[in-house]
Amino acid sequence: MPSLSKKTLIVFDLDGTLAPTKSPLEPDMSRTLSALLAQKKVAVIGGGTYRQFRRQFISRLDCPRGLLKNLFIFPTTATAFYRYDKGWKNVYAHTLSKDEKQKVRKAVVDVFKKVGYVPPKKIYGKTLEDRGSQMSYSFLGQDVVAKLGKKGVRLKEEWTKKNTPLKLKIAGMLQKKLPELEVHAAGFTTIDITKQGIDKAYGVRQIEKYLRIPIRDMVFIGDALYPGGNDAAAKKTGVRTIPTSGPKETIRIIEKILKS
Ligand SMILES: [Mg+2]
């Protein structure tokens, strides 16, 4: 991939791209990213909170401190931005208003009542989480993977197989009740509610604006670039994209970039 040598910024989705879903970054990925940070700037964008990024990504990245100036973190789909300057510093956070959050809470209760949804007996952590710029409803609880590890991932997959039509129905009904907000049936077992227009395209444009790097100098690597996937919106910006099937393939892509 010779044209990749000219790209100065590599943008990665987090879940399913750099790390398994909601699971920690693995040591081989940490080594590969560390090598990449010595040559390129790297931005990571994901739906999870900064807290989740710390747990899953930052704390697992074993890399010389001097290289962290090349790493840029965009949690909650780039509605927040953190950069490293003698520690991780928040640059901005665009949050929902109190009123908007209250409307979301009410809409969730109303819609569940209407469809007769009864949550499973066992829930791991909070279901409706206030992520500042985003409200996220997780059907099995936010911490199912943090608490159960691989078993949690399996539970999520099983739930997804059984309940995706129900999840989409609930998401559709929530959207009708919250016309001024945007409802995304993101991830496996989650519904995210954000301000309008918050997607990976917004993310790429925020990255361009705050890092002052033109989109033509970026590459976006994600596991859900297919139509309907939560990375697909990135394509609207014209950014060069490279699809990946998961962290293993992402490592091979990074190695190609390093050799280019
Ligand atoms: Mg992903």
**CA 47 to centroid of ligand 1, rounded, Å:** 9
Asked whether the CA dihedral 139, 192, 164, 116 is positive or negative, the reply is positive
Ligand 1 is an ion; residues with CB less than 5 A from it: 13, 15-16, 223-224
Contact call for residues 70 and 99 (beta carbons, < 8 A): no
Q: What is the pLDDT of residue 133?
A: 87
Task: Calculate how far, in angstroms, residue 201's C-alpha sits from the geometric centre of ligand 1.
Answer: 14
Cα 179 to ligand 1 centre (Å): 26
Q: Mean pLDDT, to the nearest integer, of 61-80?
A: 95
d(CA 220, CA 241): 5
pLDDT computed for residue 46 by the predictor: 93
- For residue 186, pLDDT beyond 80: no
Kindly tell me if the per-residue pLDDT of 1 is higher than 80.
no
Contact 133, 195 (CB under 8 A): yes
Structure confidence at residue 126 (pLDDT): 94
Domain boundaries along the sequence of the chain: 2-94+198-259, 98-195
pLDDT for position 92 = 93
Question: Rounded to the nearest 5°, which phi and psi values hold at 183?
Answer: -110, 125
State the pLDDT at residue 89: 97
Please report the pLDDT score of residue 150 as a whole number: 92
Class of domain 2-94+198-259: alpha beta
Asked if residues 79 and 96 have their Cβ atoms less than 8 Å apart, the reply is: no
Could you tell me the fold of the domain covering 98-195? 3.30.1240
Mean pLDDT of 207-225: 97
Q: Are 81 and 91 in contact (CB under 8 A)?
A: yes
pTM of the complete model: 0.81
Cα(244) to ligand 1 centroid in Å equals 9
66 CA distance to ligand 1 centroid (A)? Answer: 28
Return the minimum-mean-pLDDT range out of 84-88, 192-196, 255-259.
192-196
CA of 15 to the centre of ligand 1 (A): 4
pLDDT tens-digit series, residues 77-102: 899 999 999 999 999 998 999 999 99
Domains 2-94+198-259 and 98-195 share a fold: no
